[in-house]
Structure formats: C-alpha cells, structure tokens
Amino acid sequence: MEAFPTQATTPPLPVPPPFSPPAPGRAPGLWSAAGLIATYFVLQMAASTLAALVISLTANFRHRWQGLGHAMPAAMDQPAMQALLVTLSLGIAAPLTLLLVHRKWPQWWSQAKPPGFGVARPRRRLFFGLAVAVGLVAPWLGAWLTGLLAHGHAVTQDIQLLGSSTPLALRIPLVLVVVSVGPLVEELLFRGVLLSALLQRWHVGWSVAISSLAFALIHLPGLDFQWYALPDLVLLALLLAWLRLRSGSIWPAVLAHGLNNLLGVAGWFVALNLPG
C-alpha cells in the first residue's frame, strides 16, 4: 500500500518578549559628583580670566599699547570690572554645567526620588510656600547665629563688598545672576548630583550632613575664611536639603536659595538712598 507523504510543518515563530523600558544608566558616584563641582568652579575662573584678558586687550587697542603687565591691573582696578567678571563668569559657567549634567545623566535629570536630580514639579505646591518661609527666615536666623559666634568681629562677604562698589547699571544684572543662575546650578550640584551620590552609600542623615558641610566649605573662601560664618551656611544647606527631599524637587530649594541671596544683596540698593 502506498503511503501518502506527510506535509512538512514549519516551526513556530519565536514570541517576542514583552516590552520593557531600557534600564537606567549608572547613577553618579562620589568622584563624578566632586569632579563636576570642581569643573563648575574651574569654568568660572577660566571664563573670568578670559573675559579680563579680552577687556584688557580691547582697552589697549583703544589707547597707547602698554602691555598686559600694565593693562590687566589697570582694568581690574575699575569699580565695575569685578562685577562684570562675576556676571560673565556665572553666565558662561552655569549653562555649560547644566548642559554637561543633562548630557551625562539624562535618565536621572527629571526623576524626583534620589538618585534622580529632582528637576521636576514638587509633590505639592505647599512646598513653594515653605520655600519662601525658609528663604526669608534663614538669613535672619543665620545672621543671629553668626553674630553670636563672631563675638563682635565683622563678618564680610566678597559678594557684599563687590556689590557696594559697583555702579547701579551693573548691580541689576549682577543681582539677577546671584539670585537665579547661581542658586539653580548650586542646587543641582549639591542637592541633586552630590546628595544623590552620597545616598547610594550612606543613610539620609549622614548624606545630608556631608553635602551641607561641603556646601559650606566651598563658600568659605568667599567669606575670607571666617569660620564663624560656617554654621550659617550649614543651617541654610540643611534646610535646602530638607526641601529637596520632602518635595521631590529641587525647585523649592532653588526658590529659597534665591530669596536668601536676594536678602543678602538688598543692601546694595538701600545704600544708594542713604545720605552722604
């Protein structure tokens, strides 16, 4: 009896695995965070030096050439020069740093919970009100604490001395960068990248304490290394870290930081109306 050939069966096609979003990349480590903070301040110094060099060369071409050895000190002695350099250096270093962070860790940029950086909406709008309260109360509380520790010594800041000797036309742009650009970058660096890196190794209490101390020490040269101003900076940093972690966003901390700076430089404009 003749057997009929059986029909060949094709193997079933493989079933594709269910879709899953790509795994996020590696969160920033301590060395990456420290390197990024150092890069930000190096960029400021480089931008300031380059701007001073360009301004000095321009002044030399307008007048008889005297050489950079004479032109640079003469330009730096101008009342508006220091304020102009600070404004330009922040205006250049800040966007470059923001771009660097976003390109290096795009997956962590807008995530609210650490190791995300918190460039997102806060959980509740109430935190903006708390940020205003922190920004208004922290300077007064910090000034009282610093005065208590200083025992009558004068507490000066470079930014205050800088603004008091700056013409009004440059005080306004200087204030804008001090209360907006500066706080934004510093909150991203200290309460975003650095705090996230620390939280991968230590408990939240230690992480907040270390990041707050680092924030204070970074600002110590601008206070002429007056140690009794450190508790003020640490207190501010602790409050900003609390806002960041509780709100799930850096924006309340940016607002509080900006208000704190605004109160610190408000005397620039009050001094304009004083007699004499």
What was the pLDDT predicted at 60? 61
* Percent of the chain residues topping a pLDDT of 70: 73
Segment among 109-113, 125-129, 150-154, 251-255 with least mean pLDDT: 150-154
Distances (CA, A) of 136 to 2, 169, 263: 99, 26, 8
Q: Which amino acid is at 240?
A: L
Q: Contact at 8 Å (CB) between 195 and 244?
A: yes
Please state the rounded mean pLDDT for residues 244-266. Answer: 92
Distances (CA, A) of 148 to 80, 96, 239, 254: 34, 39, 20, 28
The pLDDT of residue 76 is above 90? no
What was the pLDDT predicted at 142? 83
